[in-house]
Structure 1
Amino acid sequence: MDSKAKTLQIAIIEDEDAHYFLIERAISKKIPDVTIHYFKSAGEFLEKFYESGFDIIITDYQLPDMSGIELLEVLNNEGNEIPVIMVTGQGSEMVAVRAMKLGVWDYLVKSNDFFTLLPMVIEKVARERNLEVSLQKSEERFRIVFENSPIGIGLYDSKGYAIEINKALMNIFGVSGLENLNRFTIFDDVNMTDSLKTKLLNGETVRTELCYDLELVKKTNLYNTTKSGTIDIDLLIRMLDAKDDHRLSGYLSVVQDITERKKANENIHMLSQQLLQAQEMERQMISRDLHDKIAQDLSMLKIGCETLIDKNSRPAEDIYSKVSQLSDTLRGIITAVRDMSYELRPPGLDQFGIESTIYQYCKEFSEKTKLNIEFNSAGMGDINLSPDIEINLYRLIQEGLNNIRKHAAASHADIKLVASYPNIIIRIEDNGKGFDVNKRLAGLTNEKRMGLRSMEERVGLLEGKIAVTSQPGKGTKIFIEIPFKEKNNGLEKNSSDC
Structure 2
Amino acid sequence: MTQVLRILIIDDNPGDRALVMRELRREFPQLQAQEIREAAGFASAIAAGEFDLVITDYQLGWSTGLEVLHTIKQQYPNCPVIMFTNTGSEEIAVEAMKSGLDDYVLKSPNRYIRIPSAVRVALERIQIKQRATLLEIRLQGLLNQLKLGIFRTHLDGNFIECNPAFLELLGLDSLSQASAMNLLNIPEYYSVLQQLPPPQHQEQEIQLQRANGSLIWVELSIALNTVEGQQVLDGLIEDITFRKQAEIEIQQLNLTLEERVRERTAELEVANRDLTQTNQLLAVANQDLEAFTYSISHDLREPLRAIQAFGSILLENQDRQSDLENQQNYLQRIIASTQ
Place the TM-score, normalised by the shorter chain, in its bin: 0.5 to 0.7
- Aligned residue in 2 for 1:234: 219
Q: Taking structure 1 as reference, are residues 74 and 166 closer, same or farther at Cα in structure 2, changes over 3 Å only?
A: closer
Q: Partner amino acid for 2:85? A: T
Whether contact under 8 Å (1:159, 1:250) holds in the other structure is no
User: What's the counterpart of residue 32 of structure 2?
Assistant: 36
Amino acid across the alignment from 2:223 = R
Q: 1:229-259: per-residue Cα shift (whole Å, max 9, x none)?
A: 654443221111348xxx6531112223444
In structure 1, C-alpha distance between the alignment counterparts of 2:18 and 2:233, rounded to whole Å: 56
| Pair 1:179–1:304, CA change in 2 (3 A) | same
Mapped to 2, the partners of 1:299 and 1:279 lie a distance apart of: 28
**TM-aligned CA deviation for residue 44 of structure 1:** 3.2
Distance 1:286 1:53 in 2: 92
Is 1:275 aligned to residue 257 of structure 2? yes
**Aligned amino acid, residue 118 of structure 2:** V
Q: Given that residues 24 and 36 in structure 1 are in contact (C-alpha distance below 8 angstroms), is that contact kept between their aligned partners in structure 2?
A: no
2:180 is the alignment partner of 1:198: no
Question: How far did 1:303 drift?
Answer: 4.6
Q: What is the correspondence of 1:56-455 to structure 2 with a 5 Å cutoff?
A: 56-61=53-58, 66-93=63-90, 96=93, 99-145=96-142, 150-157=147-154, 159-182=156-179, 192=188, 197-202=191-196, 204-212=200-208, 214=209, 226-228=211-213, 231-242=216-227, 249-292=231-274, 294-303=275-284, 310=291
By how many angstroms is 1:84 displaced? 0.9
Q: Which residue of 1 is the match for residue 22 of structure 2?
A: 25
Q: 1:116 Cα shift?
A: 1.3
RMSD of aligned residue pairs (Cα, Å): 3.9
How many residue pairs are counted as aligned between the two chains? 292
Aligned mates of 1:62, 1:189 — CA distance in 2? 54
Q: Secondary structure at the match of 1:181?
A: helix
Deviation at 1:79, TM superposition (A): 4.4
Deviations 1:110-144 (A, max 9, x none): 21113212112222222322333233334434544
Judge conservation of contact 1:16–1:40 (CA < 8 Å) in 2: no
TM-score, scaled relative to structure 2: 0.68
Unaligned segments of structure 2, at least 5 residues: 295-339
Q: Counterpart amino acid of 2:235?
A: S
Q: Which amino acid aligns with 2:110?
A: D
Relative to its length, the structure with more helix (as a share) is 2
Q: How many angstroms does 1:35 deviate by?
A: 2.7
Matched position secondary structure for 2:101: coil
- Please give the alpha-carbon distance, in whole angstroms, between the structure 2 residues aligned to 1:251 and 1:307: 88
Residue 301 of structure 1 deviates from its aligned partner by 4.6
Q: Take 1:179 and 1:205, find their aligned partners in 2: how far apart are those partners?
A: 25
- 1:40 and 1:298 map into 2 onto residues whose CA distance is 118
TM-score by length of 1: 0.49
Task: Report the alpha carbon displacement of residue 269 of structure 1 after superposing the two structures with TM.
Answer: 1.7
TM-aligned CA distance change 1:147 to 1:155, over 3 Å: farther
